Chain A
Amino acid sequence: MIMRNKNGQTDESDELDMLLEQYMAQAPIPSAQLLSRTKAAAARQSQSQSIIWLRALVAISLVLNLLLFYIIPALLLTTGLGMWMKIGLILAYAVGLQLVALVLYVGRKQVLGWMKKLEVLV
């Protein structure tokens, strides 16, 4: 018997081919428990990825918090400027932070879009 395979070639199908095809067709089916176990494990993996992302966000916000509200103001205070200059600098810095917050609030949809993209990258 001449059979044509997927590669477009003709093979002389011998007994071994037939036996192999028959043998490959015989195999057990997976149990329902295995499938539900696998589905649950895949779902858990997704949740654990979300948790990792959430932890990363918390860590980033903590670092930013430290940097913006403690370290940078402290550094500004240690500059060799006069008292009023320092107060002016701190006030300007605080106003600058407020402006950044305002811009982030106004463009929140855009920011959320960036975060989604970041999440996909992570």
Chain B
Amino acid sequence: MNAQHLIARYRAGQPYALDPLIEESRLPLYRFCYHLTRSRADADDLFQEAWLKAVRYLDRYRSDKPFLPWMFTITLNTYRDRYRSRARWAAKVKAFFSEEAHERAMTGVPDPNSQPEEHLLEQEMSERLAECLHSLDDKFRVPLILYYYKEFSYEEIADMLGVPIGTVRSRLNTAKLKLKERMRK
């Protein structure tokens, strides 16, 4: 059943008609929320808040476009409105003291075929990357997440961010350069 049909049923008064859409978006959308906020609690809030906003503005959804990128745009705007205004240092302090960072380190199950040293090195690199990625300005970080996480095209990213394609391209390049630079330090 397509999104348009489910939305029409919801608007016709079937309150649970959107359940399949929520279910379908659970993994991609939640993971996107997590990459944006880097905290489970904040990702939970963002996921729910984005859905409530989407429900409120369902009439603005254009049926000729896919539903998931529209949801990503709403999530991004919700994140911008609410979470970005928080001071970055506060998030960093929270991440440092939260158990999630330790949890992440502990739940990294090694590949039985890989060497323990290799796994440790990979884990270390991944942690370093996460640290450097989240130290980037949102202007550069968000296009990177959209490009590498969901493999959205430049055009789709430009549409979501409301900027020209050229800007997306240059921001992605700058983001990668900055990331490389910070990783080297």
Contact = CB atoms under 8 A, between A and B. Distances in A.
Interface SS majority for chain A: helix
A30 B52 CA distance: 16
User: How many A residues are at the interface, by size bracket?
Assistant: 20 to 34
Interface in B151-167: 151-155
B34 A20 contact: no
B129 A34 contact: no
B7 to A, nearest CB: 11
B22 A35 contact: yes
Interface residues of B, number: 43
A44 B13 CA distance: 11
A35 B130 CA distance: 26
Q: Which of B10, B15, B149, B183 has the most CB of A within 10 A?
A: B15
Nearest to A8: B153
Interface stretch (B25-33, B61-69, B82-90): B25-33
Interface of B: 10-11, 13-16, 18-19, 22-23, 26-27, 30-31, 34-35, 40, 43-44, 47-48, 51-52, 55-56, 125-126, 129-130, 133, 144-145, 148-149, 151-155, 176, 179-180, 183
Given A46-B13, A46-B55, 16 more contacts: A6-B151, A7-B153, A7-B155, A16-B176, A16-B183, A19-B126, A20-B148, A23-B130, A23-B133, A28-B31, A30-B44, A38-B48, A39-B18, A42-B10, A42-B22, A45-B55
